[in-house]
Amino acid sequence: MKYRLGKLLAICATAGMVLAVSRDARAQVTQAAGYTPPDDTPKVSVGGTIFADYTYQDTPTGKDADGNVIHQNAFNLARAYINVTGNISHWVSFRITPDITRQTLTTTAAGTTLSTDGSLVFRLKYAYGQVNFDDFLVQGSWLRFGQQQTPFVDYEEGIYRYRFQGTIFMEREGPGGSGSFLSSSDVGLSSRVVFPGNYGDVHLGVYNGDTYSKAEANDQKAFQVRLSLRPAPMVPVLKGLRLTGFYDGDHYVKDAKRERFIGSLTFEHPYVNVGFDYLDAKDRTSVTKTEVHADGWSGWITPRTPIGIEGLFRYDQFKPNKDLVGKKKRFIGGLAYWFPVTKAGIAAALLADYENVKYEDFPVGNSNAKPQEKRYALHTLFNF
C-alpha cells in the first residue's frame, strides 16, 4: 500500500513539473517578427494655432468719427484654435476645436439680433468622433461623425500652407461676390479611403450644407466628394503631383440648386509647391429667382529654400456672373520665413505680403463695383 501511494505521488509530481514547463514555454513564445500590437492606451493631447497680423490699407482710404481721411490699419487676431485631440483606443479617436470670431451687432428689417459689443468670442469649429479603419484598409482611412472638415478646403490648405495670409480662392469668394462658395467645416457624416501604393484617396460625405456657423435651415443636405490621384507615386520627381476633382451638390430649398465643381492640379517638392484650381458654381436661392452661374480660377506658387525662406505668389480671377460683364482680380505677393522645427505638426512662420484687388468692368450700381484695394501686412503663424 505504501509503495502504491508513493508511486502515485511521484507520478503527480512529474505531471506537475511537465505542466509548469509547458506553461513557461508558452509564456516565452514571442509575436511574429515585425508585428507590433495596436496601442489601445487612451490618450489626450492639447495644442493650439494662432494667426496674428498687422495690416495697413493703402487704398481705399476711409474717414474717422471727425471726418479725417485715414488709412485703415490694425493689429488683428484672425485665428486662435485650441485643439483637443485623442484616442479612446486604436479604433476610436476624436477632436474638439473651438475658434474665435468677432461678434457684432446686427440690425435687419425684422429687428436687432446678436446684441454684442464686437468682442472676440469662442465658437465651436470642430467636434467629431472618428472610427479608424487601419486594421483592414490602408492607414489613414476612417469614418467621421460630427462637426468636421469638409473634403476640399482642409485638403488644399495642407498643400498651400498659407492659410494664415488668407483663405483659399473657393472660401474667399462667394455667390454674388459675398460669402463663401465653400466652408472649411460643416456638420455631417463622412468617410475617407486611402488607395494602396500612395496612389491617392477619396473623401466623401453628407453634410447639413449650411456650414458650421449656421443651424440647418431646412430638409436639404449637401453631398460632397473629393477624388485625388497621384499618377506617378514611385517616380521621385513626380510623386508630389496630384490631380483632384471635387463636387458639391446641394439645394437652398427644394429644386433651387446650390452646386460647385472644382478641378485642381497641385505639385509638392522640397523646393517648390505649385497649385492651379478652377471653380464652376451654380446658385439659385429660390425657384422664383434666376440661377446665377459663376466661375473663376486661382494659380499660386511658393518657391522654397533649405534655410526656411519662401516666396508666395498667387493670382485669382473671379467672374460672379458669367452672363454679365465684370471680373474681380486679386494678386498676392510676399516673402516668408519658416522657423526650423524638429517635430511634425509644430510650425512658426512670418510673412510680409502685399495684396492688390481690382474690380473691373462692373456696371454702376452693381454690388461688385468697388474701388481698387491695396494692402500691406505682416502675418504670423504659431502652431503647436
Instruction: Read off the CATH number of the domain in which 153 is found.
Output: 2.40.160.10
Contact 170, 151 (CB under 8 A): no
Contacts of residue 211, Cβ cutoff 8 Å, sequence gap at least 6: 180, 183, 185, 186
The answer to whether residue 251 is domain-embedded is yes
Contact 204, 225 (CB under 8 A): yes
Amino acid at 122: F
Contact 151, 203 (CB under 8 A): yes
Q: What pLDDT was estimated at residue 255?
A: 93
The answer to whether residue 8 is domain-embedded is no
Average pLDDT along the chain, 384 residues, taken 10 residues at a time: 41 40 41 70 96 97 94 95 96 96 65 63 94 96 98 97 97 90 97 98 97 90 98 95 98 95 98 98 95 97 97 98 95 98 93 98 90 98 96
Contact 223, 203 (CB under 8 A): no
**DSSP codes of every residue in 224-288:** EEEEEE-S-TTSTTTTTEEEEEEEEEEEEETTEEEEEEEEEEEEEETTEEEEEEEEEEEE-SSTT
Q: What pLDDT was estimated at residue 33?
A: 57
Q: How far is CA 49 from CA 15, 166, 265, 345, 349, in A?
A: 65, 15, 27, 10, 12
The answer to whether residue 16 is domain-embedded is no
Residue 229's CB: how many other CB atoms inside 10 A? 15
**What is the reported pTM?**
0.86
The answer to whether residue 302 is domain-embedded is yes
- Long-range pairs of 320-324 with CB within 8 A, sequence gap ≥ 24: 320/173, 320/175, 320/176, 320/177, 320/292, 320/294, 320/368, 321/292, 321/293, 321/294, 322/293, 322/294, 322/295, 323/293, 324/363, 324/366
The answer to whether residue 66 is domain-embedded is no
CA 277 to chain centre: 16
**What pairs with residue 222 in β-bridges?**
207
The answer to whether residue 50 is domain-embedded is no
Q: Helix (H, G, I), strand (E, B), or coil: what is residue 13? A: helix
Amino acid at 212: Y
Here the cell at position 307 is 534655410
Provide the domain limits for residue 222.
121-383
Whether residue 60 has a cis bond before it, omega within 30° of 0? yes
The answer to whether residue 142 is domain-embedded is yes
- Based on the structure, what is the number of domains in the chain? 1
**DSSP codes of every residue in 156-200:** HHHHH--TTT---HHHH--GGGSS-SS-SEEEEEEEEEEPGGG-E
The answer to whether residue 218 is domain-embedded is yes
User: In whole angstroms, what is the distance from residue 71 CA to residue 58 CA?
Assistant: 6
**What pairs with residue 82 in β-bridges?**
48
User: In whole angstroms, what is the distance from residue 205 CA to residue 149 CA?
Assistant: 10
Contacts of residue 222, Cβ cutoff 8 Å, sequence gap at least 6: 186, 188, 206, 207, 208, 209, 248, 249, 250, 258
Q: Helix (H, G, I), strand (E, B), or coil: what is residue 46? A: strand
Q: What pLDDT was estimated at residue 213?
A: 85
